[in-house]
Chains A and B, each alone.
Chain A
C-alpha cells in the first residue's frame, strides 16, 4: 500500500473541477461559469483518514485527442506521471457529452472514478440519473455529488482511498467501432506489441486507435521505428480510404459516432426524465438577454451600469486613499530632514507606489462587476453576441473578455487581461488579442486622463471619457485587423462553444475572482513600480545642478532678499534680527491655520509682531480676509512681500527645471525632442512618457515633478491641471495628442512581462515596437491635422 496517493481531476470544461478541487483541498483557485478557465495544472494536497492525497486540477477537455494544448497537457500528465487514479468530474445535467470523455479514460485504461457532479442542476431540470446503474453498466465507481455545496466530497474521498487500495492497475476497456476499424486496430496493436523499440507508456490498443484516428501519436511511432511505422501508416491509410469509399466518412468521425452510440445505449438506461418543460430557466433568460434586438441594447445598458457603478462606488475610497497618501507624505517630510533621502522617500517611493495603490478600489470594483458577468454566465453571451463583429477584425468572440478585463469599460488592468486570453485556443487569435489588449483604458491611464481633461476639456468630462473609450476600442479592433492580415495571417478557429447555463454567482467565487485579479495589479506596486520609481527618481534628480549654476541661483535669491530688506516700505515692519526665513515659515503656518479656520492657532500666531505683515500678504495673495483690515501702509509693505514671494517661487521653479534639464532623464528627454517635436511634446513630456513605461500611473507624478510643483504641493490634484493649463507649451491640441499617445504607446513593463509569459519574448518585444509605431503614427496625424485646422490653439 502506497502511503501517498496522487489523483488527477479531469472533466469537461465548466463541469466543476476547480470547485471540487477547492472543496477537497480548501484552496482558492479561480472558478468561473465560463468554459476553459483552468489552463495550467494546479496542485494541492489533503489528508483524509490519515492518508496524504495529492490532487492535480487538470485543464478541462471534451476529449483526449491531441489537437489543443489543454488536451495534450492532460494526456501527457496521465501517461507520464501515472497518477494513482483519475477522478472524472461529470456534469449530471449534461450526461451524454460528459461521458464522451469518461469513455476515453476507460479506453486509456487508467483507474477511474466518476464524480457525478451538479446533481442539483439535473434534478431542477427534471433529469434523474441512476448512479448505481451507471456504475454497474460502465464498471466504474460513481459518486453523486453537489460540489458547490460540498455534498458528496467525503464520500468521494472515501471512494478514492477504497479504489486506490484495491490496486486496480490499468485495464483498457474495449469498444467496438465497426468491423473495418476494429480490424485495423487489431493489426496495428499486434505490430506495436511485437516491437521492442516502442515504449509502454500508452496501452498498445489505445495507440493503435489513435493512429486510426489520425492523431500525432502516429508520428511518434514513425520516428522511433521507421520500418514498422511505415507498415502502421499504410494500414491507417488503407482503413481510411476504405471507410471514405464505403461510408462517406472518415475514421475519426466514425469513432466518435460509435462512442456516442455506446453512450446513448447507457444513458437510455440510467437517465429518467420527468416530462420536461420545453424551456428551462436558462432558456427563458436567454430569450430576453440574447434576443436579436433587445440583446445588444441590454448589453450596452449593462456595460454602462457597470461603468457607473464602478466609478460612483469607488469615488469615496479613492479619495480617502489619496488623502491618506498625502498625509503620509507630510508626515514623512516632517520626520526626515530635507535632502536626498526625503526626496527619495517622498517623490520616489510614496508618489510612485501611492499612485498605483490609490486606484486599487476602482480596479477592485471593476473586477467585481466583471466577475459577476463571468460567474453568472452572461460573459459567454457577450462573446456569442459579439463574435460576428470581432471575427471581422480577425479576433474571436472570446477575445472580448480579455479586452473588458484590460479596461474595455474604462478601468481594469492589462495584466489579468493577458491571462484572460487563455480561453482562446487558436494561437494566432490569442496573440493578436494579447497585442491589442494594452490599448484599452486601464485603471492606470485614468488619472492621466483625469488631469488632462480637467485642464483642457473641463466642461466635457463624461463626453471625453466616452470618446476615449470608443477610440481605444476602435484602435484595438483595427490594429487587430492589421495584425491578422499581415504578421498573423491565418484561418479563423471554429466557434464551437458551450453556452453555460445561467448560475447564481456565489459570494466566495466572486471574492476569489475579484481578489485574484486585483492582487496582480497591487503586486506590481510592490515590486516593479517600487524599483522603477526609485530609478526614475534618481534619473530625474542626478547629476543635479552644477555648483556654478547652483551658486547663481543662490546669488539671485540673496539679491532678492536684500532688495526686500532694503525696501523702504517694509523696513519698519521687520524688526532687526528677524530673518526672512522666519517670515516664510510664519506665512506657511498662517495660511494653513487660515485655511482650516483654526481660530486658536490664528490667535497664537498673532502674538508675533510679524504676523500683521503676513496676514496682509495673505489677504493680498488669496483675497480672503481673516478679520483684520490692514491699513494702506501695511498693505504697501505686504505688496512688496508678495512680490518677493513670487520672485522666490519663480527662482525655485527655474532651478528645478534647470536641474531636470541637466539630469539624466532630462537629457534623454531633450534628445527625444528630435522625434517628438512634431507631436508637440517637449522634454518634460518625454520624461513623463519614459516614466510611463514603468507604469502609466507614473506619468502624472513625473509630470508633477517636471512642472516643478515642489514635492509636497503635488498632492493637491487640481494644481497640476492648473499648471498645465497656464503653461505656454500646452494647449488642447497638445493635450489631446498626448491623451491619444498615452492610450496607445508601449504597454507598461508588467504587461510586457505578462505578454511574454503568455507568448514569447519575441512577441513581447514586437508588442512594444508595434504599440510605439501605432501611437506615433496616430499622434502625428492628430497633431498635424489638428494644427492644419488650427484646432485647440485659439
Chain B
C-alpha cells in the first residue's frame, strides 16, 4: 500500500514519488527549481558520513540536500505490509 512520509524518513535506496513540497520562500524556490515538484519520481542514493546531507536521484541527476530541507518534502512511498489499525 502507499503512504506519504517525509523525505528525511526514507531509507537509503528507497524510491518514491514526490507528493508535495511545503517549503516556502528561498528554500522552496531552490528545491523546486531543481525539479523537486509533485509527481517527480525520486530515489535516495545515500547519506553523508554524519547522516546529513542526503543525496537523492531526481530525474537524471543527483541532488544533495540537508535533512532540515528534506523535512519539507513529502514523498509517496510503497510500504509492504499495511500498518495495523485499531
Interface residues of A (CB under 8 A from B): 62-63, 65, 67, 93-97, 100, 125, 127, 248-250, 252-253, 256-257, 260-261, 264, 282-283, 286-287, 290-293, 295-296, 384-385, 387-389, 391, 397, 494-499, 501
For B69, the chain A residues whose CB sits under 8 A away are 494-496
Q: Which of A125, A256, A388 contacts B50 (CB 8 A)?
A: A388
Do A387 and B49 touch (CB < 8 A)?
no
Q: A96-B35, A100-B35, A385-B49 are in contact. List 12 more A-B contacts (CB 8 A).
A: A62-B33, A62-B34, A248-B20, A253-B21, A283-B45, A292-B47, A292-B51, A295-B48, A384-B55, A388-B53, A495-B53, A496-B27
- Chain A interface main SS type: helix
Q: Would you give 16 A-B contacts (Cβ < 8 Å), ordered by A?
A: A63-B33, A67-B29, A97-B35, A100-B33, A250-B28, A253-B24, A256-B33, A260-B37, A290-B55, A387-B48, A388-B53, A389-B50, A391-B66, A494-B66, A495-B53, A498-B62
For A248, the chain B residues whose CB sits under 8 A away are 20
Nearest to B12 among chain A residues (CB) is A292
Q: Within residues 26 to 68 of chain B, which ones have a CB less than 8 A from any CB in chain A?
A: 26-35, 37-40, 45-53, 55, 57-66
Do B49 and A292 touch (CB < 8 A)?
yes
Given A384-B53, A385-B49, A388-B50, check contact A94 B59 (CB 8 Å). Answer: yes
Q: Chain A's nearest CB lies how many Å from the CB of B23?
A: 8
For A389, the chain B residues whose CB sits under 8 A away are 50
Nearest to A97 among chain B residues (CB) is B35
Q: Which of B24, B38, B40, B48 contacts A385 (CB 8 A)?
A: B48
Do B64 and A496 touch (CB < 8 A)?
yes
Cα A40 to Cα B21 in complex, Å, equals 32
Nearest to B31 among chain A residues (CB) is A496
For B29, the chain A residues whose CB sits under 8 A away are 63, 65, 67, 252, 256
Do A387 and B66 touch (CB < 8 A)?
yes
For A499, the chain B residues whose CB sits under 8 A away are 55, 61-64
Among B20, B21, B59, chain A packs the most CB atoms within 10 A around the CB of: B59
Nearest to B48 among chain A residues (CB) is A385
Nearest to B50 among chain A residues (CB) is A388
Given A250-B24, A252-B28, A257-B38, check contact A290 B46 (CB 8 Å). Answer: yes
Cα A605 to Cα B45 in complex, Å, equals 79
Given A63-B29, A252-B28, A256-B33, check contact A496 B50 (CB 8 Å). Answer: no
Cα A566 to Cα B8 in complex, Å, equals 94
Do B32 and A494 touch (CB < 8 A)?
no
Among A95, A257, A494, chain B packs the most CB atoms within 10 A around the CB of: A494
For A250, the chain B residues whose CB sits under 8 A away are 24, 28
Q: Which of B52, B62, B63 contacts A388 (CB 8 A)?
A: B52
Nearest to A299 among chain B residues (CB) is B49
Among A93, A127, A249, chain B packs the most CB atoms within 10 A around the CB of: A249
Q: Chain B's nearest CB lies how many Å from the CB of A384?
A: 5
Cα A293 to Cα B51 in complex, Å, equals 11
Cα A62 to Cα B63 in complex, Å, equals 13
Cα A292 to Cα B54 in complex, Å, equals 11
For A253, the chain B residues whose CB sits under 8 A away are 21, 24, 28, 32, 37
Cα A252 to Cα B24 in complex, Å, equals 9
Cα A67 to Cα B50 in complex, Å, equals 30
Given A95-B60, A97-B59, check contact A286 B33 (CB 8 Å). Answer: no
Given A96-B59, A257-B38, A290-B48, check contact A495 B66 (CB 8 Å). Answer: yes
For A388, the chain B residues whose CB sits under 8 A away are 48-53
Do A496 and B60 touch (CB < 8 A)?
no
Q: Which of B30, B49, B51 contacts A496 (CB 8 A)?
A: B30
Q: Which of A257, A293, A295 contacts B37 (CB 8 A)?
A: A257
Q: Which of B38, B52, B61 contacts A97 (CB 8 A)?
A: B61
For A387, the chain B residues whose CB sits under 8 A away are 48, 52-53, 64, 66
For A282, the chain B residues whose CB sits under 8 A away are 62
For A290, the chain B residues whose CB sits under 8 A away are 46, 48, 55
Q: Chain A's nearest CB lies how many Å from the CB of B83?
A: 25
Q: Chain A's nearest CB lies how many Å from the CB of B41?
A: 11
Do B64 and A495 touch (CB < 8 A)?
yes
For A496, the chain B residues whose CB sits under 8 A away are 27, 30-31, 34, 63-65, 69
Nearest to B34 among chain A residues (CB) is A496
For B40, the chain A residues whose CB sits under 8 A away are 260
Cα A385 to Cα B40 in complex, Å, equals 26
Cα A62 to Cα B37 in complex, Å, equals 14
Among A94, A248, A261, A388, chain B packs the most CB atoms within 10 A around the CB of: A388
Cα A256 to Cα B27 in complex, Å, equals 13
Those 7 A-B pairs whose CB atoms lie nearest each other, nearest first:
A256-B32, A388-B50, A499-B62, A63-B33, A496-B30, A62-B33, A97-B35
Among B34, B40, B48, B69, chain A packs the most CB atoms within 10 A around the CB of: B48
Q: Chain A's nearest CB lies how many Å from the CB of B70?
A: 10
Cα A93 to Cα B31 in complex, Å, equals 20
For A391, the chain B residues whose CB sits under 8 A away are 66
Cα A290 to Cα B62 in complex, Å, equals 13
Do A256 and B37 touch (CB < 8 A)?
yes
For B26, the chain A residues whose CB sits under 8 A away are 67, 494
Among A95, A249, A495, chain B packs the most CB atoms within 10 A around the CB of: A495
Q: Chain A's nearest CB lies how many Å from the CB of B48?
A: 5
Do A494 and B33 touch (CB < 8 A)?
no
Q: Which of B31, B34, B61, B64 contacts A384 (CB 8 A)?
A: B64
Cα A722 to Cα B39 in complex, Å, equals 72
Given A63-B29, A63-B33, A253-B32, check contact A494 B48 (CB 8 Å). Answer: no
Given A253-B28, A257-B37, A387-B53, check contact A498 B46 (CB 8 Å). Answer: no
Nearest to A71 among chain B residues (CB) is B33
For A498, the chain B residues whose CB sits under 8 A away are 34, 61-64
For A264, the chain B residues whose CB sits under 8 A away are 39
For B37, the chain A residues whose CB sits under 8 A away are 253, 256-257, 260-261
Cα A501 to Cα B57 in complex, Å, equals 12
Given A494-B66, A496-B30, check contact A286 B46 (CB 8 Å). Answer: yes
Cα A96 to Cα B41 in complex, Å, equals 13
Q: Chain B's nearest CB lies how many Å from the CB of A55?
A: 26
For B62, the chain A residues whose CB sits under 8 A away are 282-283, 286, 498-499, 501
Q: Chain B's nearest CB lies how many Å from the CB of A86?
A: 18
Among B27, B38, B62, chain A packs the most CB atoms within 10 A around the CB of: B62
Do A96 and B60 touch (CB < 8 A)?
yes
For B48, the chain A residues whose CB sits under 8 A away are 290, 292, 295, 384-385, 387-388
Q: Which of B27, B46, B49, B50 contacts A494 (CB 8 A)?
A: B27
Nearest to A292 among chain B residues (CB) is B49
For A260, the chain B residues whose CB sits under 8 A away are 32, 35, 37, 40
Cα A100 to Cα B40 in complex, Å, equals 14
Cα A317 to Cα B72 in complex, Å, equals 54
Cα A209 to Cα B58 in complex, Å, equals 27
Do A257 and B35 touch (CB < 8 A)?
no
Given A63-B33, A384-B64, check contact A296 B49 (CB 8 Å). Answer: yes
Do A127 and B60 touch (CB < 8 A)?
yes
Cα A260 to Cα B48 in complex, Å, equals 29
Cα A290 to Cα B45 in complex, Å, equals 10
Q: Chain B's nearest CB lies how many Å from the CB of A53?
A: 30
Nearest to A397 among chain B residues (CB) is B53
Among B30, B47, B60, B66, chain A packs the most CB atoms within 10 A around the CB of: B60
Among A67, A95, A496, A498, chain B packs the most CB atoms within 10 A around the CB of: A496
Nearest to B40 among chain A residues (CB) is A260
